[in-house]
Structure 1
């Protein structure tokens, strides 16, 4: 009798174990605890938290930069990148050379830019104590009689105002039959040079756009290109 009762309880326990309902509601939670809290919960990547993504105040473009070797100027119109290149070219050819760099002949926003540009230019021609540099400015079409500050205009689409129009003494004079429609900047290792006249370094002169004048001390032997930061 005892054996029959034992077999009955063994059979009942086996059937109960087979048909016992599974605890499905807690399985994901339990599994998640065994797997660092992730389990079957799908954690979607939140791109808004990525640096440079959509977090905070929305998408933000990377800070504009200048290429290596280019001077960096923060102008009212934004970041402006500038580099001087050596070369005996006409003004139109210098403009073409700048365009090959994705740039244009650069204007001069202020005296700080002038000083840094000539400092970059002089080491390009170490055998030259002084020379002139094409810049991005041309005589206004209807301005032959205008004043020195209004007779020329910047051509680079970035330079503003007249603070960069720092002319040499008695310039611009539109000499040689009114053919001086372009502008050069004098770079010199000394503050003053003298040929037939006296010239100050870091100052401008109007020049024929083919640049055939200037002599040994003021010949046009470089050009300055500028472009917006990227």
Structure 2
């Protein structure tokens, strides 16, 4: 739960606090999510938005956190499609170098 408190405080500091991709994906054929490094997320039910995760249309395999659909004061998790454009946050180990690939076009 500590990681989710950090994410909430970080989103609050952004200039556009709607939602961020948090680096979690649905485990294929499951209702559970894992971090991009393969470790278990262990998301408590109370952190999900109403009727979430719902895997609408069978294509919502990525998790975002923040405002969604309406501007509300509580930050919840939502499952969304993994295609398209989204702001994101990632974690790196101390001393680790990250190389970013910038995409100039996106699939919607």
| Distance across 1 between alignment mates of 2:52 and 2:93 | 30
Residue 112, structure 1, aligned to residue 11, structure 2 = no
TM-score by length of 2: 0.66
Q: Which residue of 2 aligns with 1:201?
A: 74
Say which structure is richer in strand: 1
**Structure with the greater alpha carbon radius of gyration:** 1
SS in 2 for 1:228: coil
Say which structure is richer in helix: 1
Cα RMSD for the two superposed structures? 3.2
Q: Is the 8 A contact 1:118 1:187 kept in 2?
A: no
After superposition, where does 1:178-193 map in structure 2 within 5 Å? Answer: 178-187=58-67, 193=70
| Distance across 1 between alignment mates of 2:23 and 2:45 | 11
| Distance across 1 between alignment mates of 2:8 and 2:38 | 21
User: Structure 2 vs 1, CA of residues 115 and 210 (structure 1 numbering), >3 Å: closer, same or farther?
Assistant: same
Structure 2: which 5+ residue stretches go unaligned? 96-108
Structure 1: which 5+ residue stretches go unaligned? 1-107, 213-219
TM-score by length of 1: 0.34
Q: Is the 8 A contact 1:186 1:203 kept in 2?
A: yes
SS in 2 for 1:226: coil
| Distance across 1 between alignment mates of 2:46 and 2:24 | 10
| Distance across 2 between alignment mates of 1:187 and 1:156 | 25
